[in-house]
Amino acid sequence: MVDPAQTPPHRFSRPGALSFVSYVLAALLILWSFEGAGWSVDRLLSSPPKLADFFSRAWPPSTHNLDRLAWKMVETLQIAVAGAAIGIVLSLPVALLAARGVLVGRGLNLAVRVVLGFIRAVPDLAWALVFVVAVGLGPFAGMLAIAIDTLGYCGRFFADDMENTDPGPAEALMATGARRIDIAAGAVIPAALPAFVSTSLFGLEKAVRASTILGLVGAGGIGIELKVGFDLFDYPTALTVILMIAAVVIGVEQVGAVLRQKLMGPGR
């Protein structure tokens, strides 16, 4: 008898007519997309000297006004943390309405999911522009943009987390005649809480990345410094900002990974 662990992997089977047509259409779609995106081999081959010229003019990174850039980076983190906190708190009640079979009927579930889908479909920069018009320039507009973006992200995944919990405890409470709100509070939310924590940390990481560019549209943070650096051909300052953004984003991601591992265990 052949050991299943030693059997070779299955070879690719010959595609049927419909599968072959689907592959051809997919390949044509990709080629069409490359054409629309302005793919150019000549421009690609001519880019290394230009990049080398940029880095030669940008190196070494500027240390002038480092204190001002550092405060702008702190402002960026404040925008991200405050906006993410608001978005995460608002996501829980919204997710209760979006989760199927938890609190409300399918009609309201669908309506809330459509709203969350619309929020996610609009880029964070577009939300920042909307709030700049609404509340004016500055970090407050950026915080509101991060809050609404986080609401769309966490609201959807919180709802999915609640739908994926073990139905046993909820069914046991239902058999006792408990109300839906009591079942959600006593069984569904506690079971989904570890997933909520993980999703919230991912939401915070996403908020930090998004907040670094909101300044490009006047919504506060260090993004405006990056734009000014390139507009004035001050490439050393622009490179300094890029390195600061990379260091902060990578640092936040590493802290988030450590927290997830500690809170949810090494296997999660």
Which CATH number characterizes residue 252's domain? 1.10.3720.10
221 located within any domain:
yes
Angle, CA 259 vertex, CA 78 and CA 256 arms, to 5°: 45
According to the model, what pLDDT value does residue 148 have?
92
According to the model, what pLDDT value does residue 4 have?
55
Instruction: Tell me the three state secondary structure of residue 1.
Output: coil
Tens of pLDDT along 4-48?
556 555 666 676 777 778 888 888 898 888 888 777 777 777 778
Report how far residue 53's alpha carbon sits from residue 57's, in angstroms, rounded to the nearest whole number. 6
Instruction: Tell me the three state secondary structure of residue 212.
Output: coil
Q: Is this model's pTM higher than 0.85 or not? A: no
According to the model, what pLDDT value does residue 147 have?
92
Q: Enumerate residue ranges in the chain where pLDDT < 50.
A: 1, 266-268
5 located within any domain:
no
3 located within any domain:
no
21 located within any domain:
no
According to the model, what pLDDT value does residue 35 have?
81
Phi-psi region of 177 (alpha: psi -120 to 50; beta: other; left: phi over 0): left
Residue 260: how many other CB atoms lie within 10 Å: 17
According to the model, what pLDDT value does residue 267 have?
45
109 located within any domain:
yes
61 located within any domain:
no
Domain that holds residue 135: 70-264
172 located within any domain:
yes
Q: Total domain count for the chain?
A: 1
Supply the DSSP symbol for 186.
I
54 located within any domain:
no
